[in-house]
Amino acid sequence: MQPNNASGPWYLDDLKTGDLFRSGEYEMDANQIVAFAQQFDPQPFHTDLEAAKASMFGKLAASGWHTAAITMRLLVETLPFYKGLIGLSTDIQWPRPTYPGDRLRVECRVLEIAPSRSRPEQGVVTVETLTLGQEGEPRQRQITKVLAFRKPE
Amino acid sequence: MQPNNASGPWYLDDLKTGDLFRSGEYEMDANQIVAFAQQFDPQPFHTDLEAAKASMFGKLAASGWHTAAITMRLLVETLPFYKGLIGLSTDIQWPRPTYPGDRLRVECRVLEIAPSRSRPEQGVVTVETLTLGQEGEPRQRQITKVLAFRKPE
């Protein structure tokens, strides 16, 4: 699968229900996992290789928020929305942890497009984002509402 | 409001529906906002003070994922669950951005406790987490399912 190479900016009217976009890959390593967790999720199974072995994960695992943050980075590189990629809300599931050495990539599908009634220049696009590991298993599933804008006249 | 000072570990049976827990404060500054965004959400309104002025935010704004990550940090300090704070899923809304100088704090309320049928030693606790600014306005609203474990016999 090739990453999406379309160039932006993308306007509201450029998007269609069912559109599918694919990101490039991002490899997670243990140092990054520990550094993120020390700052934002300081729990032994995210910060300490030895302590993680005795945890329910059995080995060092990335914070779910790290998986979410890397997903955002891949999305920013993949979806060049006009005025930027601005999320209003998101529902996230973490069916499996991310581990050192995992190569994450993102598949993003447009589920729904709702033009705004009160603000005709914008709309809300609902997208499903799957963050997959190298063997295609989802590490994160996400349904997100993002803003999109029409091309200025 | 005082932060929660209870010591852990907390077991599944220690929690009751309606329990409310409060974190300490965390002040966001522009350098942290830019550093986070350069790594995980590289968009001009999160990384560039000047470019942000021309964006829909009107000034530098934190990535919603940064607000979420700081929320997790405050929760880890506030909720000393036995075996750690492990989220299964979460629904997030960002009603307002977080800006430099904002002092974030978290209020977390237990909405529901569901003991597992198949795994009697554990259960799923649904919590509502509000991430508030210094004037009490929510920057993030979250409904999260977290694992909790019974005290080993």
Query: For the segment B21-60, what is each residue's pLDDT rounded down to a tens digit?
Result: 999 999 999 999 999 999 999 999 999 999 999 999 999 9
pLDDT the model gives residue A8? 85
User: Mean pLDDT over residues B73-90, rounded?
Assistant: 96
User: How remote is the C-alpha of A64 from its chain's centroid?
Assistant: 11
pLDDT the model gives residue A150? 96
Quick check: A9 pLDDT over 90? yes
Look at A87 and B70 and tell me if their CB atoms are within 8 Å.
no
Interface probe, candidates A29, A76, A129, chain B, greatest B C-beta count within 10 A: A76
Task: Calculate the average pLDDT of chain A.
Answer: 95
User: Mean pLDDT over residues B58-83, rounded?
Assistant: 97
A58 and B CB contact within 8 Å: no
DSSP state of A146: E
pLDDT the model gives residue A66? 98
Task: Give the pair of three-digit tokens for residue A135.
Answer: 């063997």
ipTM over 0.90: yes
Burial of A90 (0-12, 13-18, 19+ CB in 10 A): buried
Handedness of CA A131, A24, A33, B141 (dihedral sign): negative
* Residue-wise pLDDT tens digits, B90-133: 999 999 999 999 999 999 999 999 999 999 999 999 999 999 99
| Neighbouring-strand partners of residue B70 | none
Task: Give the pair of three-digit tokens for residue A95.
Answer: 């069916």
- The share of chain A scoring above pLDDT 70, in percent, equals 96
* Residue-wise pLDDT tens digits, A95-121: 999 999 999 999 999 999 999 999 999
pLDDT the model gives residue B3? 57
Interface probe, candidates B29, B41, B45, chain A, greatest A C-beta count within 10 A: B41
Secondary structure in 3-state letters for chain B: CCCCCCCCCECHHHCCCCCEEEEEEEECCHHHHHHHHHHHCCCHHHHCHHHHHCCCCCCCCCCHHHHHHHHHHHHHHHCCECCCCCEEEEEEECCCCCCCCCEEEEEEEEEEEEECCCCCCEEEEEEEEEEECCCCCEEEEEEEEEEEECCCC
Q: Pinpoint the alpha helices (H) of A2-95.
A: 30-40, 44-47, 49-53, 64-78
In angstroms, the CA A52 to CA A68 distance is 21
Look at B40 and A70 and tell me if their CB atoms are within 8 Å.
yes
Question: Is there a cis peptide before residue A138, judged by omega within 30 degrees of 0?
Answer: no
Among A83, A80, A90, CA closest to A5:
A80
Q: Is-contact B145 B124, C-beta < 8 A?
A: yes
pLDDT the model gives residue A2? 45
User: Mean pLDDT over residues A140-153, rounded?
Assistant: 96
Look at B73 and A42 and tell me if their CB atoms are within 8 Å.
yes
pLDDT the model gives residue B153? 82
Q: Is-contact B1 B139, C-beta < 8 A?
A: no
Report which of residues A7 and B81 the model is more confident about: B81
Task: Give the pair of three-digit tokens for residue B7.
Answer: 């010591």
- CA angle B142/B148/B152 to nearest 5° reads 170
Nearest to A73 among B40, B84, B90 (CB): B40
Task: Give the pair of three-digit tokens for residue B142.
Answer: 């979250």
B17 and A CB contact within 8 Å: no
Give the three-state DSSP class for A49.
helix
Long-range CB contacts (< 8 A, 24+ apart) of B129-132?
B129/B71, B129/B75, B130/B106, B131/B67, B131/B70, B131/B71, B131/B74, B131/B104, B131/B105, B131/B106, B132/B104, B132/B105, B132/B106, B132/B107
Nearest to A84 among B45, B90, B93 (CB): B45
At the second CATH level, the architecture of A12-149 is: Roll (3.10)
pLDDT the model gives residue A3? 57
Look at B76 and A43 and tell me if their CB atoms are within 8 Å.
yes
| Chain B contacts in chain A segment 108-137 (CB below 8 A) | none
